[in-house]
Amino acid sequence: MEQGTLLDEALGSLHLSGCVVLLEDCVETSATFVLHHILKRSLSQPPHSSNVFVFVAFAHPFSHYDRILRRLGCNLVVQRDNNRFFFFDVLVDCPDGEEGKNSDGGLVALYGKIQKTISALPQENKNCITVMIDDISLMEVAAKGSTNLVLDVLHYCHTLVSEFGCSLVMLNHDDIYSDTVRPSLILQMEYLADILIRAEPLATGLASDVHGQLTVLNSGKERSRNKLSNFQFKVKENSVEYFYPGSRT
């Protein structure tokens, strides 16, 4: 596994147990590669590792993530077969209008499946669980625009952090909202976040060798507490380069 990147340093411990991580991006600069990075570094631990990943996908099917992670050197099919990776495809597991259910029942039932999956894990795995949601904005679409329902489900997921010591990682597209109105669910998630990661375009505009910048506010645990990091990145086919502004010639 790749070690010692600026993103790893900003995140701190390899084990984000008990942490809430919120990623915010925009149309110009996607942060999905950070999701892939966190997923890979968790599952790339030794085979006997007790790390378990629960992925809740509103954006893409399993094949999409498996294809990307294979390029990064991580086989999700093998991880799934070894009961270290559990994938919930919302479009398949909770299709719109299933059995006449409204969006309320579908999302709450989805949380019930997540909780049941975690509860059934062996005890040695329960302290090394990551729940990842891709993404909050599409969860809101699934909830037919009900921000209260989305907030309820996210708070349910947050209880897993305190109950099992899970880490909760969420992606949201920040620029879909008005400049003057930020929904309460995002403000509350930012308040709960131990680590807030923002992916933004360069202030100077587009550049061929720099795809954007990351700002990481780590107010969580350990030595990284209240640490602010800012660096730039370039996404390649099989990896991502991280570097400080002005360090590339």
pLDDT for position 180: 52
Rounded Cα distance between 121 and 9, Å, is 30
The answer to whether residue 34 is domain-embedded is yes
Name the β-bridge partners of 240: 235
Overall number of domains in the chain: 1
Q: Identify which of 158, 122, 198 has the alpha carbon closest to the alpha carbon of residue 19.
A: 158
Residues of the chain scoring pLDDT < 50: 1-2, 97-101
Kindly state whether residue 249 falls inside one of the protein's structural domains.
Answer: no
Q: Are 201 and 165 in contact (CB under 8 A)?
A: no
pLDDT score at 100: 40
Is 248 within the bounds of a domain? Answer: no
pTM of this prediction exceeds 0.85: yes
The domain that contains 235 carries what CATH number?
3.40.50.300
Q: Is 11 a member of any domain?
A: yes
R_g over Cα of the chain: 18
Residue 87 forms part of a structural domain: yes
Full domain range(s) for residue 146? 6-243
Q: Do the beta carbons of residue 184 and residue 151 sit within 8 Å?
A: yes
Q: Rounded to whole angstroms, how far apart are CA atoms 129 and 165? A: 8
Q: What is the 3-state secondary structure (H, E, C) of 174-200?
A: HHHCCCCCCCHHHHHHHHHCCEEEEEE
Domain-located, residue 151: yes
User: Which residues have a Cβ under 8 Å from the Cβ of 203 and sit 6 or more positions away?
Assistant: none
- Between CA 51 and CA 30 the distance in angstroms is 26
State the amino acid at position 195 in one-letter form: I
Q: What's at 89, amino acid-wise?
A: D
- Give the list of residues 6+ apart from residue 199 with CB closer than 8 angstroms, or none: 23, 24, 25, 26, 29, 30, 31, 34, 212, 213, 214
pLDDT for the residue numbered 10: 92
85 within domain boundaries:
yes
**Residue 1, in any domain of the structure:** no
User: Residues 6 or more apart from 167 whose CB is under 8 A from it?
Assistant: 16, 17, 18, 19, 20, 21, 129, 130, 131, 161
